[in-house]
Structure 1
């Protein structure tokens, strides 16, 4: 039996930022400044939309539209992980 991972980590978000938006960020910096605006890391709304698309493909379901409107890594992870935990 396999267990499906239903939580996006800070490390995974940093990887997705590089893959979907070409933005390189140290996961430790992302975690330390989790409430800083995505713009401070060089990520714009189009890049965030790319990350949402990657996650939707990975998990085979749509994420709430709130995910693409999040302004900070912490807010984004809260919305995404909440949706994945509840299956919403």
Structure 2
């Protein structure tokens, strides 16, 4: 079975393609917040919707409430692992 995890770089690409805001994946760190990237809650919701559709999972409500990219990635990967 392949690893279902999404890397920080892949998340950066997803954020760029789903939100319309260019995200430089090289600048993403554990401390980066969605506010730092210029993404509001509506943009994050769009990213969540795209992930759910593409990966066939439903992310928990706390994914929408996170402000940290690292925290979002942790919730996302935990959900993907449980679904695998």
List runs of 5+ in structure 1 lacking aligned partners: none
Runs of 4+ more than 4 Å apart? none
**Structure-1 separation of matches of 2:54 and 2:19:** 17
Contact 1:35 1:75 in 2 (8 A): no
TM-score (normalised: structure 1):
0.84
Shift of the alpha carbon at 1:61? 2.0
* CA RMSD between the two structures: 1.7
Cα distance in 2 between the residues matched to 1:27 and 1:85: 23
Instruction: List gaps (5 residues or longer) in structure 2.
Output: none
CA distance in 2, matches of 1:23, 1:41: 8
2:47 counterpart of 1:51? yes
